[in-house]
Structure 1
Amino acid sequence: MKGDKDWGISTKAVHAGEIRYNEYGSVTTPIVQTSTFIFKNIDEIKKLAVGAVERFEYGRYGHPTQIAAEHKLAFLEGAEDAVLFSSGMSAITTTLFGLLKSGDHIIITDDAYRRTLEFCKACLVKFDIECTVVKMCDYEAMEKAIKPNTRLFFSESPTNPYLNIMDLERLIGIFKDKGILVVSDSTFATPYNQKPLEYGVDIVIHSATKYLAGHNDLLSGVVLGSKKLVEPVREFLKITGGVIDPNSAYLLIRGLKTFGLRMERLNENGQIVAEGLERHPKISRVYYPGLPSHPHHDVAKAQMKGFGAVVTFEVEGDCEYVLNFLSRLKIINIGPSLGGVESLITHPATISYYDKTRKERLALGIKDGLIRLAVGVENAEDIIADIEQALA
């Protein structure tokens, strides 16, 4: 069963892509834990070689558990095709390598994920692919950065850690008639809250490690879009080998079945926690798209169903005070990821940007008191109380 586009998001999350009547009669899609698929006879090999049959031959080229997960994700995003990877970064790097060639130019926003920026600035240049970094949401700068050889624009929305929101209609208006591909990392939004493809974005990427899997127990990335654009990425994956393993694909399917339920709770918790923190006297500022104080609140309201579960805030005090605050938390765990059922908190200055000087960090907007909270599905009042007692 592939699914019905008219199904609700939770019905898609549970049923789309599933192998409904598999040979074992199991209600769950089986974990096909094998590296190699054997042939009954030589005729089967000949049919595969000429494209007369569709079947599996080697794990790096795909396996049944992966395909079921890909179909489910495609239905959730409203995409024609999807391809899974062993991590979100593998999805990003393989996509860029698969769609770009020597002599091309790309534009990327300045608060894209740190490792994505590093890849574009330090790795792509080795292959004679030029990269221009522009300020997030500076649409005039984006337009001015276009060159005759510009092939691709890459951004995120919302971004990390300030949760800036790209106006997708305005963005597409810049690149639509210029033959430039628009790629959006929509990890923080998820297909529950925002569907960039509906606005004209060409390719959507997710770190499926986060909200899609939802349980902090696997690594995966996914690329979604039209078959025409996804296919060259899939073919490049067969060369580079960043394929998702069967067990992780199964865990992703399992996590996705509660996707709608989790996102409903996470959106609710994110809003409650953000509003609670904004009232706290020891917190100088809160960044959350669902708050009227956020600079892109109106854009977020117009194009998002919900505002997610990442809440970034600034604590009044130096690094020592902030680290003591983190150490006093009893429910919220200290960790650099997000999107799971457990609340996680991180101090970007010491965890993500530990290799930068304070001057370099401040130039990037990473202040000493900056905290990123990935709200989980616990009771919102307990999350707020934990933060309050740690700040006391």
Structure 2
Amino acid sequence: MKRKIIEREQAFGALLYASGLLAISSTITALVKRGSKLLVADHCYEPSIEFCRKLAEQFELQLTIFDATDLAVFEQYCQQGYDLMLMEVMASDSLAVCDLAAIAKLCQKYQVCSVIDATWSAGITAKPLTLGFDAVVHSCTKFFSGCSDVFLGVVVANQSVFTRLAGYAELIGNHVSSQDVYYILRGLKTLDLRYQHQSILAHKLALNLCEFFACSPNIDAQVNYPTFHPAFHQGSGFCQPEFGGSLVVFSFNWQQGFDFVRFFSKLRLIKCGYSWGGADSLVTYGLRGTATGQRAEFRVHMGLEQPEQIYQELEQALQALMEE
């Protein structure tokens, strides 16, 4: 399994962990020391950010949460002597697109060790090590597994960082189950086919949602999908920008008459769940505060069901939600 992921990410070495979050937390812990200065992108997985906060408190680290889409401010931070930077290839909650190539160059220029969670890209739409990142983390639970039935994480890195991570992994007694490894090996066989197919279906879903909201002029709606973003191209470090992944995020202005219960009562095929990357379509929801008020925000993971049924079911649920 490690050999296959090393080849996919063009890495020097790989380490397996019992979960994606453990892979991130172990990597960060191995690369910092008391007094280190740590940059963490605000689009990172919330438990990863919370871990960094706890670590900063315990070991007197200087932690700064930054906006990875603002390169000018990021460079200012890099000039201040930060030791380590953590970000994601794609924000899984908002699908904010960052210039990966530019961030990697800035980290190299100012000698900031760079760690990136590339679970979303699955070694297909981005290969961060080839851009200059030092270490890449994957939650194998997502696309690598393909069935959402196993916890496993992996870190691949260049030679200098891998040596540091491997030594720390040995010290803490890091081990994984051979059965879990088998499940990931099974998923890797179909990874490219699944990722490409689900990307096509998700892109169509995003277009359908745009059409749906266009017919609802009273709803201030926004549909986010990577292929819609002008920065999602090879120049920003995305090597297959025709594939935007399986996630679609849409939001609209919140109204008191809206009732989440009506939305979910119409769903049969689509389940309510936080994970993604598997065969089943899932949706999460919440309210996000903005300068102009609250917005209802939904994230849909497009699975492998019949797409027309998913499109129709989601449209019916939205119509029920917006009924007076």
Alignment TM-score, normalising by the size of structure 1:
0.74
Deviations 1:12-39 (A, max 9, x none): xxxxxxxxxxxxxxxxxxxxxxxxxxxx
1:378 to 300, 305, 309: 305
More strand by share: 2
- Unaligned segments of structure 1, at least 5 residues: 1-68, 350-360
If you compute each CA radius of gyration, which structure gives the higher value, 1 or 2?
1
Equivalent runs, 1:74-153 vs 2, <5 Å: 74-146=6-78, 149-153=81-85
State the Cα distance separating 1:335 from its structure 2 match. 0.5
Seen in structure 2, the aligned counterparts of structure 1 residues 364 and 377 have a Cα distance that, compared at 3 Å, is farther
State the Cα distance separating 1:383 from its structure 2 match. 1.4
- Report the residue type matching 1:96 in the other structure: I
Seen in structure 2, the aligned counterparts of structure 1 residues 81 and 126 have a Cα distance that, compared at 3 Å, is same
Aligned to 1:289: 226
In percent, how many aligned pairs have the same letter? 28
State the secondary structure of the residue aligned to 2:249.
strand
- Report the residue type matching 1:229 in the other structure: V
**In the alignment, structure 1 residue 203 sits paired with structure 2 residue 135:** yes
State the Cα distance separating 1:376 from its structure 2 match. 0.8
State the Cα distance separating 1:237 from its structure 2 match. 2.2
Aligned to 1:223: 155
Equivalent-residue separation in structure 2 for 1:92 and 1:218 (angstroms)? 17
Is the 2:5–2:14 Cα contact (8 Å) retained in structure 1? yes
1:333 to 250, 255, 271: 271
Equivalent-residue separation in structure 1 for 2:39 and 2:199 (angstroms)? 31
Equivalent-residue separation in structure 1 for 2:128 and 2:293 (angstroms)? 28
Equivalent-residue separation in structure 2 for 1:251 and 1:372 (angstroms)? 26
State the Cα distance separating 1:205 from its structure 2 match. 0.8
State the Cα distance separating 1:259 from its structure 2 match. 0.7
State the Cα distance separating 1:160 from its structure 2 match. 2.4
Equivalent runs, 1:265-304 vs 2, <5 Å: 265-281=197-213, 284-291=221-228, 294=229, 296-297=231-232, 303-304=238-239
Equivalent-residue separation in structure 2 for 1:384 and 1:177 (angstroms)? 46
State the Cα distance separating 1:377 from its structure 2 match. 1.6
- Unaligned segments of structure 2, at least 5 residues: 320-324
Equivalent-residue separation in structure 1 for 2:233 and 2:294 (angstroms)? 26
Equivalent-residue separation in structure 2 for 1:365 and 1:188 (angstroms)? 30
Equivalent-residue separation in structure 2 for 1:332 and 1:304 (angstroms)? 30
Is the 1:157–1:164 Cα contact (8 Å) retained in structure 2? no
Alignment TM-score, normalising by the size of structure 2:
0.89
Is the 2:102–2:236 Cα contact (8 Å) retained in structure 1? no
Equivalent-residue separation in structure 2 for 1:326 and 1:189 (angstroms)? 29
**In the alignment, structure 1 residue 309 sits paired with structure 2 residue 264:** no
- Report the residue type matching 1:312 in the other structure: V
**In the alignment, structure 1 residue 167 sits paired with structure 2 residue 99:** yes
Seen in structure 2, the aligned counterparts of structure 1 residues 112 and 271 have a Cα distance that, compared at 3 Å, is same
The answer to which of 136-145 and 237-246 deviates more is: 237-246
State the Cα distance separating 1:277 from its structure 2 match. 0.9
State the secondary structure of the residue aligned to 2:305.
coil
Equivalent-residue separation in structure 1 for 2:235 and 2:145 (angstroms)? 24
Deviations 1:226-256 (A, max 9, x none): 2321232222223334532111111111111
Length, aligned pairs only: 311
Deviations 1:109-140 (A, max 9, x none): 11211111111123233112211111131111
State the Cα distance separating 1:146 from its structure 2 match. 2.8
Is the 2:232–2:238 Cα contact (8 Å) retained in structure 1? no
Aligned to 1:31: none
- Report the residue type matching 1:239 in the other structure: L
Equivalent runs, 1:7-26 vs 2, <5 Å: none
Equivalent-residue separation in structure 2 for 1:108 and 1:295 (angstroms)? 24
Seen in structure 2, the aligned counterparts of structure 1 residues 326 and 240 have a Cα distance that, compared at 3 Å, is farther
Deviations 1:319-341 (A, max 9, x none): 85234212321111110100001
Aligned to 1:356: none
State the secondary structure of the residue aligned to 2:8.
helix
